[in-house]
Amino acid sequence: MFKNVIVKTPGKSYVNGLTTSDLGKPDYGRLLEQHAAYIEALKACGVEVTHLAESEEYPDSTFVEDAAVVTPEFAIITNPGAESRNGEKEEIEAVLKNFYSKFHYITPPGTLDGGDVLQVDKHFYVGISERTNREGAEQFKNIAETEGYTATIVELQEFFHLKTGIAYLGDNTIAAAGEFLDHPDFAEYEKVEIPDADEYSANCIKVNDFVIIPKGFEETKRKLAERGLETIELEMSEFQKHDGGLSCLSLRF
């Protein structure tokens, strides 16, 4: 069960942040509405929300997931792969000191984004991507193993981040899209299969008794309901324009 969540308001500079998509420029007013609805959905899941103010100097800093990986026992401060985002980790570390006394760090030349780390109970999957290099992934694996966890390094072929295409739903079940549908590293799991047309909905988050999913993906919603999973749907259009998904917007622990 998650007790705490950290989120951060996007600043006006968000509209000029990093993106690989061609979905157009975000509408800042709509963005704030969607972020507020995200916070309310988290509260409905029974967590305490720590809400950080915007940082105009870091346009992408609303995506707090990339700056740290959090477990029940310790936090790992990452070393984000995009140079313009690297300084975001300073604020996140300071805030996490209110919750953690034990920290580990990814250090240069290693880079790692939290969006490339999927936790399944005591095991981590770490994606090598444009933002996470092999050195960063190996550092993470070593840290995990010293703490009694295990880890598998996964080289991404298609997705921007590992969690762009996969989510853990509990009970040995994953939501998977694209390259993860038949990936040998995930063969042991029951799968909610997400077709290419609905790929964006693979980035969903299970928060206690609910699965939060992006709005507009009825097939995904139906498949989750078939497995007895209750969903909360959220409009995510303005975050999707900048490669953002539901997991990116919070640290959950």
Closest by CA to 166, choosing from 117, 121, 207, is 117
Residue 104 is among the residues annotated as catalytic for this protein:
no
In whole angstroms, what is the distance from residue 162 CA to residue 159 CA? 6
Residue that the structure tokens 């390259």 belong to:
179
The yes-or-no answer on residue 183 being catalytic is no
- Point out the catalytic residue in the list 35, 204, 242, 248: 248
Catalytic residue among 35, 104, 161, 242: 161
Strands (E), the chain: 4-8, 48-52, 68-70, 75-77, 103-105, 117-120, 123-128, 150-155, 166-168, 173-177, 190-194, 205-207, 210-214, 230-234, 251-252
State the Cα–Cα distance between residues 210 and 188, nearest whole angstrom.
23
Q: How far is it, in rounded angstroms, from Cα 118 to Cα 239?
A: 20
85: closest CA among 203, 235, 243, 201?
Answer: 243
Alpha-carbon dihedral angle through residues 235, 240, 241, 242, given to the nearest 10 degrees: 130
Residues involved in catalysis: 161, 248
